[in-house]
Structure 1
Amino acid sequence: METIHVVAATNDDYALHLAVMLNSLLENKFSENPIQIYILDGGNLSVDSKAKLEKSLQRFDVKPQFILVDASLYSGCLINRYYSMEMYFRLSIPDLLDHGIQKALYLDCDLIIEEDITILWNNNIDDYVVGAVFDPNELRREQLSIPKEYGYFNSGVLLININKWTENDILEKVKQFISDHPSALKYPDQDALNVILHDKWLRLEDKWNVRANRLNKTDIILAIIHFTGKTKPWNGKPPGKSAYLKYLDNTQW
C-alpha cells in the first residue's frame, strides 16, 4: 500500500498552527495507507516546539521527521513580516526527501483538512509537475502575462511530482525568476511558480483549497479550508474559525 508523504514548513511562530493542521489531517484520514510527515525547519524551530509537535501527533501513532533546511539558499528572496523564509522551503522538497519517493503533498500551516487526504493523494499527476487548485485571481494572471487558458493557482496545497520537478529544474528557475523580477511579484513564490509551471500543472477539485473568506459565498463541499490573508483564526474571527478551535483542543498548546 502506497505511503502518503506530507510536507510542511514552520518556525516557532507557526508551530502551533501546524499542529492544528496536522491534527485535522490525521483526524479525518480513514484509509489504511501509511503516512509519513516531514517538517522543514530552517533553524527557527525550538526543541520545545518540536517536542510539542511530536506529542500533538502521538495519539495517531505518527512521528514526524524534522528536516533541517539550509536557509542561505533563499537569502536573495523577499522576506518580510508577511513572507517568512519558511515559505520558500517548499521549493526544495524534491531535494530533501529520500531518493525513491516519487510524489509529495505540500501543505501550508494555515489550513484545516476536513476530508480524507488519501483522496487528494490519489490524483494522477504522472504527466504534470504539480497538482494545485485554481485561484480566480485574473488580475495576477494578467499582470504575470500568463495565457488565460492556463489560469492561476494557489500554492498552499501542492501535489508534487518529484521526478518532473527535478527534471525541469524548478527550484533554480523559480529562484531566478524571483531574483530577476522582484518588483513584479505580489506573492513571491506563488507568482513565480505560476509563471514557471503555467502549462505544467493539473487542476485539482476546488474543494481541496477553499479560502476561508469564501466559505459563506460557495456551495462547494469543503475538503480543505485555507485561512489566506491577514485575518487568521488566532488573531480574528474569519469564517471557519470554529473548525480551527475544534482541532486546537487536541494539541499540546
Structure 2
Amino acid sequence: MIPNKHIHINDKNAEHLDANKKKKIINIAFACDNKYARYTGAVICSILKNLSSDKICHFYILSTSISQENKDRFLKLKRFKQCEVFFIKPDESFVQIFKDIKLQEHVKIETFYKFSLPLILPKLDRILFLDSDIVVLEDISPLYESTLEDFCFAAVEDANQRLKIPFGYPDEYIYFNSGVILFNIKQIKNSTYMDRIKTKVKENFDKYKVSDQDMFNDCFYDKIKKLSYKYNLHHTRYGFFNPMNTNDYFASLNKPVIWHFTGPIKPWHTSKDLVYADRFINNLKFYERFADEIYYKILDNDRIISTHSDSFLPYKNKHSGKDFVLLASGPSAKIHTKIDNAIYVGVNKSLLHSIKLDYLFVQDFRAFKNFEEEIFSYECEKFFGICEAVKEFKIPLEYALKSRAKIYYQDTSLTGIPSKFAFDLSKERIGCFENVVFAALQFILYAGAKRIFLVGCDCSNEPYFYAKDDKSDLNPQRIINNYKKFKNFVQFYYPDVEVLSINPVGLKGIFDEY
C-alpha cells in the first residue's frame, strides 16, 4: 500500500466535498510531468466544456515533479467550471518495478503511475485514467458510468491486434489500448493485483515494445471489459485495422466521445492531417490564456464580485444546450416570427415586440426616457447595467428596485478604455462595446446556449421596428467591428456554440445565416 503521506491535496478539500454532495462525482486521473502539464490542462478543458451540468469532476494529477506554478495553473480551472483538483505524489519506489522496461521515445516513465491508483485511492469505487494526448468531444459521464460487472478494468480494443502475439494468451482475448482505462477499484481490491504485475513484469519485461500498454495487456488481458470504440477512437491511422464490431466502429466515427492522437506525432507538433487536432489546439490555447489570465481577470473589487455573484451565478449553465434568440430593436425585427422552444433575450425597447421575452437587458438610462412604466411593469427577468463612468448613462438603483431587476456593472469602454468580453459573469464587469446587445450575448453564453439567433441586430441608422422617428445614433461600422470581436470570443471560448443571424443589416458574412 502506498502511504497517504504521498497524497498532496489542495486546501479546504473537506469543505469542497461537503458543498458538492448534490452533484455526482466523476473521478478522473492523469499522469504528467511539467512538460506535459499544459497538454493535460487542454484535456481537462475539453472535459469541462462538455460535462453534464449535474456532474462534477474530481481531477487527480499524478506526478513526482510538477512545479507549484503548474499546480496553480491547474487550480485556476476551478474558476472556469466547478471542479476539484488534487495532486498526488506517488512513492518513487513504485516505478522501480518497471525500471527495466524499455520506453518508447514519446512515452514518459510517469505513465506507469496510473497503476498505483488502486493503491493510493482505495476508498474510491472507480476512477477513469486518461492520457494527455486526447481530446474529449462529448460528455464523458456515460463512459465513467459504464457497467463493469466483475471486470477489474474497462478499455477499448487497440488498432493493432498483432501486438498481443509475443505474450501468447488465448485467441479469444483481445489487446487493449491503455490511453483510456476505467479502473474498477472496488473489484481490484479483491484481486492479487500487485502480485500479478510484479510476476509478469519480471517474466516478460524484455518483450514489452509498447511500454505500459504491453504490460497492462500481459497482466490483465482476462480482466478487461471491452468498451465502445467511441471512447478511445484512434484506429483511423492504421490502414490494416479490421474492427470486430463494424456497426459500433462506424457509429463511433460519426460521433466520437474521445479522439486519441496515438503515435509519436501529436497535435502540438503539427495539425496537418490529424483529425480533431484543431479541437485539441483550441482547448490548449483556451487553457493557456485562461490559466495565465490574459483574458480572464478576477476583480479585487468586493462590491462588484458580491453583486455579480448574486445577479448571475443562479444562471450559470441554467439553460445548457438550449436555443436562444437575441431580440434587438432594429427594423428587421419587424418581420421576425417566433422560434419554437427558444429562450428570448431582449434589449431596451424590444419588449414592444409581440413575442414575449424571457429576459430583458437595459444599460443606458436614456432607454428609460418616456418609457419608465413599460419597463417597470413588463413581466420577465430583468438586468440593468450600471455605467459608473458616464453620469448621464447611469440607471438609478431605485429604478432597479422598482423593476425587481438584478444589476450588473459595465466596463468603461465609453471613456476610451477598450472593452473585454466577460467569461465569468459572477466575477467580472460586463463588456460594454457601446451596445447593450453585447451584455445580453455574454449572458446568453454564460447561461449555456447551444445556438444563438441574432434578430433585429441591424447595424444601420434606420428607424427601430416600433417607430418611424426613433433611430440609433451609434456608428454602424464600429458596431460591426464589435460583432467581429464577439465572433472571435465565441470561437475561442465557446467553439461548440453556433451563432446565426436572421436578416440583420450589416452582419452579412460575419455569422452564418438562418
Q: Structure 2 length normalisation: TM-score?
A: 0.46
Pairing 1:234–2:256 present: no
Report the equivalent of 1:127. 150
| Structure 1 unaligned residues grouped into runs of 5+ | none
Report the equivalent of 1:183. 206
* Aligned-pair Cα RMSD in Å: 2.1
Pairing 1:29–2:51 present: yes
How far apart, in 1, do the equivalents of 2:83 and 2:259 lie? 23
1:167-206 pair list within 5 angstroms: 167-206=190-229
How far apart, in 2, do the equivalents of 1:60 and 1:172 lie? 40
1:9 Cα shift? Answer: 1.0
1:92·1:171 contact (CA, 8 Å) conserved in 2? no
SS at match of 2:282: helix
Greater RCO (CA < 8 Å, at least 6 residues apart): 1
Pairing 1:83–2:107 present: yes
Higher gyration radius (CA): 2
2:152·2:188 contact (CA, 8 Å) conserved in 1? yes
How far apart, in 1, do the equivalents of 2:188 and 2:146 lie? 17
1:46 Cα shift? Answer: 0.7
How far apart, in 1, do the equivalents of 2:278 and 2:261 lie? 12
SS at match of 2:199: helix
Q: Which moved more, 1:126-135 or 1:141-150?
A: 141-150
How far apart, in 1, do the equivalents of 2:136 and 2:234 lie? 12
Report the equivalent of 1:6. 28
Q: Alignment length, in residue pairs?
A: 251
Q: Return the match for 2:256 from 199, 219, 222.
A: 222
Change (3 A) 1:110 1:57: farther
Change (3 A) 1:246 1:25: same
How far apart, in 2, do the equivalents of 1:33 and 1:57 lie? 14
Tell me which stretches of 4 or more aligned residues in structure 1 moved more than 6 Å: 215-218
1:43-54 pair list within 5 angstroms: 44-54=65-75
Report the equivalent of 2:481. none
Percent identical among aligned pairs is 27
1:194 Cα shift? Answer: 1.0
| Structure 2 unaligned residues grouped into runs of 5+ | 1-22, 242-248, 290-514
Change (3 A) 1:241 1:190: same
How far apart, in 2, do the equivalents of 1:160 and 1:235 lie? 30
2:126·2:185 contact (CA, 8 Å) conserved in 1? yes
How far apart, in 2, do the equivalents of 1:130 and 1:191 lie? 15
1:141·1:148 contact (CA, 8 Å) conserved in 2? no
2:102·2:209 contact (CA, 8 Å) conserved in 1? no
Report the equivalent of 1:251. 287
Change (3 A) 1:64 1:212: farther
Per-residue CA deviation, residues 30-60 of structure 1 (Å, 9 max, x unaligned), is: 2402321111112x21111111122244211
1:2 Cα shift? Answer: 3.7
How far apart, in 2, do the equivalents of 1:96 and 1:45 lie? 18
In structure 2, what residue type is equivalent to 1:100? K
Q: Structure 1 length normalisation: TM-score?
A: 0.91
Report the equivalent of 1:67. 88
2:102·2:208 contact (CA, 8 Å) conserved in 1? no
Per-residue CA deviation, residues 157-211 of structure 1 (Å, 9 max, x unaligned), is: 1111102223223234224322322221111221121122212111111000011
1:178·1:189 contact (CA, 8 Å) conserved in 2? no
Change (3 A) 1:175 1:93: same
